[in-house]
Amino acid sequence: MAGSKKDYDSRSDSTCDLACLRGLLIAFNFLFILAGCGALGVGVWTVIGKMEYSALLTTATYTAIVYVLIIVGAFILITGIIGCIGAARKSTRSLSIYFILLLVLFILEIAAGIAAFLYRETIHDELASDLMNNMNTHYNQTDYKPLTQAVDSMQQEFECCGVTNHTNWKGSRFYVESQKDKVNLLVPDSCCKSVVTYCGQSDHPSNIYAIMGDTPTGCLTKLEKYFQNHLIVLAIAGFAVAGVQLAVMIFACCLRRSIVEDKIRYK
- pTM beyond 0.85: no
In a domain, 222, yes or no: no
Q: What pLDDT band is residue 12 in, cutting at 50, 70 and 90? A: very low
**pLDDT by residue (tens digit) across 214-244?**
788 899 999 999 999 999 999 999 998 888 8
Judged against a pLDDT cut of 50, whether residue 61 lies above it is answered with yes
Number of domains in the chain: 1
Domain that residue 105 falls in: 2-123+238-265
- The pLDDT tens digits of the residues spanning 74-132 come to 888 888 887 777 777 777 787 788 888 889 989 999 999 999 999 998 898 888 888 89
Indicate whether 165 belongs to any domain.
no
**Above 70 in pLDDT, residue 55?**
yes
CB atoms closer than 10 angstroms to residue 194? 8
Which 3-state string (H, E, C) describes 48-113? Answer: HHCCCCHHHCCCCHHHHHHHHHHHHHHHHHHHHHHHHHHHHHCCHHHHHHHHHHHHHHHHHHHHHH
Side-chain half-sphere exposure of 127, counting CA atoms within 13 A: 26
